[in-house]
Chain A
Amino acid sequence: MAKPMEQYKWHELNAGCVIDEPGSASEYKTGSWRVQKPVWDDSKCIKCGVCWMFCPDAAIYQKKDGYFEANLDYCKGCGICARECWPCAITMVEG
């Protein structure tokens, strides 16, 4: 998006609201929807990547040291990662 969506006038929209700029959804930060965020306990994490696989928003990434973290610009705090983490390394906390 060239500008925030609340600034678009009706005649500035493409016909049929076609989005002709691929990947522009990444500009829309959905992290503000969140109530809770996942926090990893790296002493329990076995780097299996289950959290990364299950995250429906692809908001979890692997750090250089192999452990995981959520990108809080996009993490909506759904808690699926914490539910699926079988070594129980993820806790959902407010924030």
Chain B
Amino acid sequence: MNNKNKKGIEVSIALSESVKLCRFEAISAYPITPQTHIVEHLSELVAEGELAAEFITIESEHSALSACIGASAAGARTFTSTSSQGLELMHEILFIASGLRMPIVMAVANRALSAPLSIWNDHGDVMAARDAGWIQIFCENGQEAVDSIIIATRFAEDRRVLLPVMVNLDGFILSHVVEPIEFPAQESVDAFLPSYDPLYTLHPDRPLTMGAYALPELYTEARYAQENALINSKDVINEVMGEFGKKFGREYRVVESYNCEKADTVFVAMGSMNENIMTAIDELKSRGKEAGLVKIRLFRPFPSEELAEVLSGKKRIIVIDRAMPGGAMNGPVFSEISSLAKIRGLDAILSNFILGLGGRDVVPEAFIDIYNESMARTSTFVKAAKTNYRIVGVRE
């Protein structure tokens, strides 16, 4: 990549510029830390006439997503963004957006949930919304965030998909850092992303009903159709990521790996901490130890085939979660991986570490300690403990 084309820019601002490149036509969002810079910059772009979108100001996130559904139903390419409490205030509307098959794109600056009140990063917010029927992407760095908006807009609007997408970026840790970012040219984005051609729109010339009541005779079939669309969206996502790579020179996959060929011990993680894990892997290598990293970029629909392929034959799988299980046996990512391991017959010792909650700093050394601890384990099940995970760094 040519560094001359890169621009030092805050990731939130860069993401908003990407929204502009995608020529979104309707935006409704309520400012909430740490998403604020995204929505502020978008409102500036609209106010200054740089982005020809309707910016619908509202009094809450519940209303923001409701307005987005209205805009999307009217045929507009629609964007919103939120974080933490805002995402939870949207909660009931999340299911309506996916059930109505509205291809809304939402950037989520991941932040811990209250109480206790925290403005800092973890994945508690999105994990509470993980089964809302949205496609969910997790970004590792600013360039991914910028590119993911373009990619997400393209596959969301594909007639084979028609589903809303959350593009997750870690609050502050990623949203507020300044990174060198390469922006694609407007003409290239226009060529990649044709204007939205909705399947159905609310228009007085052709009356139709969206969001009708479904009796017990139809609800199962309706939800099954939606679930199939979500499961099958993965093929389209792979296709669009592949096409993006060819056109823009940056390759993305639903599951990515680092140093996995040699290593039989691998980390599985999501989001910006992947960079720290890679640093730890490099450090381990310098000490003569091999570890790999499997990055889950697409969390919903869960990329089970791709993960099974990369995890096959591994002896130890270390799953990192950034959210409390909330009474579950393990963190949400581990639960998926352990289920996959059982179904696919993966013969590995699995361990689950939870860290980085509410902005607790995650340093590369933590992953070296985790690696060493995992190497000492002889089974997935820890008999002495009530829970089968460990909270890293908790003062006991």
Contact = CB atoms under 8 A, between A and B. Distances in A.
Partners in one complex: yes
A5 B101 CA distance: 21
Contact of A16 (B99, B224, B228): B99
B228 A10 contact: yes
B224 A15 contact: no
Given A6-B217, A10-B228, A14-B200, A19 B222 contact: no
Nearest to B225: A10
B207 A16 contact: no
B199 interface: yes
A22 interface: yes
Contact of B101 (A15, A19, A21): A15
B185 interface: no
B75 to A, nearest CB: 13
Given A10-B228, A22-B208, A17 B162 contact: no
Nearest to A15: B101
A17 B200 contact: no
Contact of A22 (B200, B207, B229): B207
A93 B220 CA distance: 37
B229 A15 contact: yes
A86 interface: no
B210 A16 contact: yes
Contacts of A15: 101, 162, 199-200, 225, 229
Interface in A1-24: 5-6, 8-11, 13-22
Contacts of B221: 8-10, 13
A5 B100 contact: no
B100 A16 contact: yes
A14 B217 CA distance: 16
B215 interface: yes
B214 interface: yes
A13 B225 contact: yes
A17 B215 CA distance: 12
Given A10-B221, A10-B228, A11-B225, A17 B207 contact: no
B200 A18 contact: yes
A10 to B, nearest CB: 4
B226 to A, nearest CB: 8
B378 interface: no
Nearest to A17: B222
A20 B208 contact: yes
A58 to B, nearest CB: 17
B214 A17 contact: yes
B222 A18 contact: no
Contacts of A19: 208-209, 212
A9 B221 CA distance: 7
Nearest to B227: A10
Contacts of B199: 15, 18
B164 to A, nearest CB: 11
A89 B200 CA distance: 47
Contacts of B162: 15-16
25 contacts: A5-B217, A5-B218, A6-B217, A6-B218, A9-B221, A10-B224, A10-B225, A10-B228, A13-B222, A13-B225, A14-B200, A15-B199, A15-B229, A16-B101, A16-B210, A17-B212, A17-B214, A18-B199, A18-B208, A19-B208, A19-B209, A19-B212, A20-B206, A20-B208, A22-B207
Given A5-B215, A18-B208, 4 more contacts: A13-B225, A15-B162, A17-B214, A18-B200
